[in-house]
Each structure stands twice: as structure tokens, then as C-alpha cells.
Amino acid sequence: MTSFDTALPSIRQVQTLIKEASSVQLKLVTGDLLAGKINWQDQNCLSLVDENKQQILVWRHAIAYLKLKN
Amino acid sequence: MTSFDTALPSIRQVQTLIKEASSVQLKLVTGDLLAGKINWQDQNCLSLVDENKQQILVWRHAIAYLKLKN
Amino acid sequence: MTSFDTALPSIRQVQTLIKEASSVQLKLVTGDLLAGKINWQDQNCLSLVDENKQQILVWRHAIAYLKLKN
Amino acid sequence: MTSFDTALPSIRQVQTLIKEASSVQLKLVTGDLLAGKINWQDQNCLSLVDENKQQILVWRHAIAYLKLKN
Amino acid sequence: MTSFDTALPSIRQVQTLIKEASSVQLKLVTGDLLAGKINWQDQNCLSLVDENKQQILVWRHAIAYLKLKN
Amino acid sequence: MTSFDTALPSIRQVQTLIKEASSVQLKLVTGDLLAGKINWQDQNCLSLVDENKQQILVWRHAIAYLKLKN
């Protein structure tokens, strides 16, 4: 279970990525590599908007890592 | 464990998809890509009805991401 | 952790499948596709009886989805 | 997290397999298929003794299913 | 979540392996097979020292099984 | 769920790696092998800075093992 304390660095970092509309890459446990901008997060999911403006609801338990898109 | 607070964006978003009978795609951690309409959700599962009107009970822990079907 | 509240739709649905002795398919996170009838469920497992009358104890955390066998 | 209530059918069933020294197969999420007799269980693990009398400590979170060895 | 009650057989067994400096094999959910001696355990991890005296911090959630190295 | 008690050896060990700016390798459940220096940890994630000074936010649930880079 995710600890969704907004004082945690991991939660704040994602919050900063949302505010700055940063382009990110999400690697999933399925091996999928998703790219887009995060528009919100909650305890269960991150909401990503891809280059085609389509929203993707990504479950936290399926995320391996996140980095800025080069 | 899923946080099933109906005020959470991720729970409300799925609830909207149910009300609007939207066609969605679910990518699972198995690599399976399921398509259909969500007819209900609870703390453990999402219930999907596929194009052949067959119901599929999908466990949340197995979901990687969800998006609208193009 | 599974929420094993018998009022939950996902728990009741499996309970109905047990009562009606429905033939089901279980897709596991291993990629295995098991077929049979569910004879009981508890918080940790589903007990499946396959076509050879052999019992298979399936852990919930390993289940991706369940559907009726065509 | 496993619910290790000894009144649960899944816990009692494994306890019966221990008492009767039944030969079982364990399919793991890694795809491994282990065979042997269970000599004890606790909240985290099942202890299996294989045909070479070697003990294998198997974590519950890694178990997909268990069945009697034919 | 691991139950780290030192009275549990699974915790005591690993404690014995540490005291006796036993050579073990750890199979991970990634498919990796690590070999070495366990030098400590806590609620999250097992610390393994391999043949080159290098320490490997292994997360419990990634362990499938453990056995003595032949 | 990770136990993030700073008295735990696994948490302290990572804290030492941060202080000493040690080069580490992280093997993920996806099979990815990430290399870099850890700059912080919290209950959900480890933050890694790779050789190109890019930050990678790694979810704990996706980590299999960690070792020093040779």
C-alpha cells in the first residue's frame, strides 16, 4: 500500500512534475514504457496524458520507475 | 491494498467510465490487453463486459493501466 | 490484502459461481489458464476442481481475471 | 498479507496436507514447479521437503497454486 | 507485508542459517538465482554475502524460495 | 508495505549508501539493471541519480536487489 503522505519526498516530487507539466517516462512492471505528462496522482494511481492527449490511468503497484523524458 | 475511498480521483474516474458506458482497454500485468465496458467496481475487482457480452472479473492487483479505447 | 467482506460484489459473484457450479476460467499472473468449478473461497485462496476432479488451491494474489468458460 | 487464521479453509487444507504427508506440486509466480511434501507453514512461508530430502523455504507471495501430485 | 515475529518458524529458520553461516541459494521473482551466506535479516530485506564477499541487499517481496546450496 | 523504521538495518544501510555517495546497482522485477548513486529514500521510493546526472524515481515494490557497483 502506498503511503500517501504529501510531506513525503516521492509524493512531493510527483506533485512538482504535475505543476511544471514535465514530460516523463514511466516504466511499468509489464515492461511497457509510457510517455506523457502527469495531470494528477492519488493513493492508487497516476494519471498520465500522452502525446495524443489521451489519458492513461496507471496503477502505482505497476510502476517500476519514473524519469524525465530526454 | 486498494484505498476504496469514493472521493479519490481514481475511484471517481472509474465511476464516470461506468456511468458513461465508455469503451476501455485494460492492460494487465500478464501482458493481456482486455477491451470492454466496466459495469461495476469494488475494492478488489473491476467487472468488465467485453464485445461478446461476456463478463470478466478483473483483479485490481493485476491491472497495469486503463485507457479509453480509440 | 483481499477485503473479504461478503457484501462486496466481487465476493458475492464468486459465491454465486460456487452455488451454480459454473464452469470458469482463471487466468493467473504466471500466464496459466486454469479451468474448472470453484468449490469454495476464503480470504487467501479460491479452490478450483478441474475436469479430472482434481482440486487446485489458487492464491488470490496470483489471479489476473476470471470468466465463465464458453 | 496472508490472513493466518487457522479456521480458514486454505490454512486448514494445507494443515491437512502436512498431517497426511501428501505429495504436492507448487506452481510459483516465477514459473517454477516445485514438488515435495509440506512439513510446516507459517504466515510468511511454506516449508517443502523435496524428493532428495532437501528443504525448500517457499514464500507465500510467490505461490500461484498448489495441487496434489498425481 | 512480512510478519517479522521472531517466534515464527520462517524467521527462526533464517536466523539459524545466519548463525550457522550456511551457504544458501535464493531464487528471485526475476528468475535470478543468488548464492551466498545470509548475514542478517530484517522486516524488509535479507542481506546476502556472495562468494566474492560482496554484499547483496535482497528485498523479501522479491524472494520466491530459499534452499541450502548443495 | 515497507516498514520505514530508521532503526532497521535495511533502511540504515541505504542511508549509509546515500551519505557515502556510493555507486550502486539496482536490479528491478522488470529485469532492468539501473546504476547510479542514491540521493534519498522514503517509504515508497528510492531516488537514483545515474551517470548522466538524470534522476530516476524507483518504486520500492519494484526492487529485487541492490549491490555496490564494482
**Amino acid at residue number F44:** N
Contact F45 A70 (CB under 8 A): no
> Which cell numbers in the block locate residue F16?
549509509
Length of chain A: 70
d(CA B48, CA B45): 9
Contact F57 A13 (CB under 8 A): yes
Whether D1 has a pLDDT exceeding 90, the answer reads no
Q: What value does the mean pLDDT take over residues A26-53? A: 97
CA distance to partner chain B, nearest, from residue A56 (Å): 5
* Nearest-CB residue to A57 (from B1, B2, B65): B65
Contact A29 B31 (CB under 8 A): no
- Where do we find the cell 492487483? B61
Contact criterion met (CB below 8 Å) for D11 and C44: yes
Report the candidate in F60, C64, E63, C25 with the shortest Cα–Cα distance to residue B31.
C64
pLDDT profile of chain E (70 residues), mean per 10: 86 98 98 98 97 97 95
Whether F3 has a pLDDT exceeding 90, the answer reads no
Contact F44 A1 (CB under 8 A): no
d(CA F57, CA A17): 12
Which top CATH class is F9-68?
mainly beta
Q: Specify the pLDDT at position D36.
A: 98
* E2 CB-side CA count, 13 A: 24
* DSSP H or E stretch at residue E64: strand E63-68
Per-residue pLDDT reduced to its tens digit, D39-63: 999 999 999 999 999 999 999 999 9
Report the candidate in B59, B27, B12 with the shortest Cα–Cα distance to residue B35.
B27
- A-chain residues within 8 Å CB-CB of F30? 27-29, 31, 64
Mean of all residue pLDDT scores within chain F: 96
* Nearest-CB residue to B44 (from C3, C28, C31): C3
Does C43 lie at the interface with B, CB-CB under 8 angstroms?
no
Whether C18 has a pLDDT exceeding 90, the answer reads yes
Report the candidate in C19, A64, A49 with the shortest Cα–Cα distance to residue F64.
A64
> Which cell numbers in the block locate residue A54?
489521451
CA E15 to chain centre: 9
Contact criterion met (CB below 8 Å) for D65 and C54: no
Q: Say if the ipTM goes beyond 0.90.
A: yes
d(CA C56, CA C34): 9
d(CA E47, CA A47): 36
Cα–Cα distance list, A36 to A23, A33, B8, B69, D44 (Å) = 5, 10, 22, 18, 39
Q: The pTM is what? A: 0.95
Contact F62 A29 (CB under 8 A): yes
* DSSP H or E stretch at residue D13: helix D9-19
Chains A, B: CB contacts within 8 A come to: 60
- Tell me the backbone φ, ψ of residue B62, rounded to 5 degrees: -95, 0
d(CA A30, CA A42): 21
Does C70 lie at the interface with B, CB-CB under 8 angstroms?
yes
Contact criterion met (CB below 8 Å) for D35 and D24: yes
Per-residue pLDDT reduced to its tens digit, B4-61: 888 999 999 999 999 999 999 999 999 999 999 999 999 999 999 999 999 999 999 9
Q: Which of F59, F60, F66 to mutate to test the interface with A (most CBs of A within 10 A)?
A: F59
d(CA F25, CA F1): 22
Q: Where are the domains of chain B?
A: 9-68
- Mention every residue, 6+ apart, whose C-beta is less than 8 A from residue B53: none
Q: SS3 for C3-70, per residue?
A: CCCCCCHHHHHHHHHHHCCCEEEEEECCCCEEEEEEEEECCCEEEEECCCCCEEEEEHHHEEEEEECC
Cα–Cα distance list, F56 to A24, A70, F10, F41, F45 (Å) = 10, 12, 20, 12, 10
* DSSP H or E stretch at residue E12: helix E9-19
Per-residue pLDDT reduced to its tens digit, F15-38: 999 999 999 999 999 999 999 999
d(CA A46, CA E27): 31
Does E31 lie at the interface with D, CB-CB under 8 angstroms?
yes
Contact C62 D29 (CB under 8 A): yes
Does C39 lie at the interface with D, CB-CB under 8 angstroms?
no
CA distance to partner chain B, nearest, from residue A15 (Å): 15
- Where do we find the cell 510478519? E3
Does D8 lie at the interface with C, CB-CB under 8 angstroms?
yes
- D-chain residues within 8 Å CB-CB of C42? 8-10
User: D53: alpha, beta or left, given left = phi > 0 and alpha = psi -120 to 50?
Assistant: left
- B-chain residues within 8 Å CB-CB of A1? 1, 3
* Nearest-CB residue to E57 (from F1, F2, F13): F13
Rounded (5°) CA angle D42-D46-D49: 135
